[in-house]
Structure 1
Amino acid sequence: MSIATNLLGIKTSLPEHVTLVAVSKTKPVSDLMEAYEAGQRIFGENKIQEMADKWEQMPKDIEWHMIGHVQTNKVKFMAPFVSLIHGVDSLKLLQEINKQALKNNRIIDCLLQIYIAEEETKFGLDQDELASLLTSNEFKELKNIQIVGLMGMATFTDNKDQIKKEFTQLKTIFEKTKKLKSENCQIDILSMGMSGDYQLAIECGSTMVRIGSSIFGGRN
Structure 2
Amino acid sequence: MAVNLTAYRQVLSETDHHHARLVAVSKIKPVSDIMALYEAGQRIFGENYVQELVDKASQLPQDIQWHFIGHLQSNKVKYIAPFVSMIHGVDSAKLLREIDKQAAKQGRVIDCLLQVHIATEETKFGLNGQELYQLLDETGDLQHVRVAGLMGMASNTDDEAQIRREFAELKELHAAVKEKYFAGRDDFKELSTGMSGDYKIALEEGSTLVRIGSLLFGARNYV
TM-score for both structures, normalised by structure 2: 0.94
Q: Is the 8 A contact 2:3 2:218 kept in 1?
A: no
* Structure 2 residue matching 1:178: 3-state secondary structure: helix
- 2: CA distance, partners of 1:174 / 1:12: 25
* 1:13 paired residue number: 14
- 1: CA distance, partners of 2:173 / 2:88: 17
Per-residue CA deviation, residues 37-91 of structure 1 (Å, 9 max, x unaligned), is: 0000000000011011110000000000000000011100000000000000000
Task: Determine whether 1:199 maps to 2:200.
Answer: yes
- 2: CA distance, partners of 1:87 / 1:97: 12
Shift of 1:196: 0.1
Q: How many residues align?
A: 218
Greater shift, 162-171 or 19-28, is seen at: 162-171
How is 1:22-171 mapped onto 2 (pairs within 5 angstroms)? Answer: 22-136=24-138, 139-171=139-171
Structure 1 consecutive aligned stretches of length 4 or more whose deviation exceeds 6 Å: none
- 1: CA distance, partners of 2:50 / 2:186: 24
Per-residue CA deviation, residues 148-189 of structure 1 (Å, 9 max, x unaligned), is: 01000001111111111111110110111111128x993100
* Partner AA of 1:93 in structure 2: L
* Structure 1 residue matching 2:187: 3-state secondary structure: strand
Cα RMSD (Å) of the superposition? 1.7
Aligned-pair identity (%): 56
* Structure 2 residue matching 1:7: 3-state secondary structure: helix
Shift of 1:140: 2.0
| Structure 1: gaps (5+ residues) | none
| Structure 2: gaps (5+ residues) | none
* Structure 2 residue matching 1:186: 3-state secondary structure: coil
Greater shift, 109-118 or 13-22, is seen at: 13-22
- 1: CA distance, partners of 2:136 / 2:96: 11
TM-score for both structures, normalised by structure 1: 0.95
